[in-house]
Structure 1
Amino acid sequence: MDKVKCEAFLLAAESGSLSEAARKLGYTQPGITRMIDALESEVGFPLLLRTKKGVRPTSDIEEMLPRCRASAIPFDPPQYIHLGLAVPSLHDLSPAAKKFISYIKEAFPEPAGNASS
């Protein structure tokens, strides 16, 4: 999993628009679509629902999306993302949400010295 795919997904999910995510990341809309399709193939389940009016996260992912974004803090340089998910209990999340959290944590590992146990 790579960080650009994850960022493309987060931006699209938050804005409700693949075109807006593309604009913010400097890609074309078809490029963002391919990235999110690849990410969905990688995790093994859909992350976004596509409609004529845009996109929105699936119900499994929607419940944890605000916590993912609020926990993502960029460090520059180097580019790191710290993802400290504040969830009441992983047991409260759906299997799809748990799997997505593990993929996000893999893509955005905590920098050395910032890891929480």
Structure 2
Amino acid sequence: LFLIHLGYLAGLRIHVIKETGAGLFTFALLFPFIAGTLGVVGGYIAGLSVGGATILGVLSASASYIAAPAAVGIALPEANPSLSITSSLGITFPINLVFGIPTYYAIAQFLII
């Protein structure tokens, strides 16, 4: 229920992203692919299987929307929580589900098989 509520809040505040400009949107869109790819490469270096490297890539990419809102709230109490919640759950999470996971799997297959 908590994540459903956060998703609802992110949907209500999606207009906040438009007000901040393209920088936040671009970061929310691209950083998970960078972190996910680094996770897959790390899994390859560690000798993980294709599935293990894929999971490490997914975990690396998803850390941006699991930990970011809480970390921003603690580190920058004056920051607008709408930005971190909306960018992580409104942009990063769905993009990661639809495009990220298949991408990390393909990279793992390319490197390991």
Which has a greater percent of strand? Answer: 1
Larger Cα Rg: Structure 1 or Structure 2? Answer: 2
Q: TM-score, normalised by structure 2?
A: 0.30
Relative to its length, the structure with more helix (as a share) is 2
Higher RCO (CA 8 Å, separation ≥ 6 residues): 2
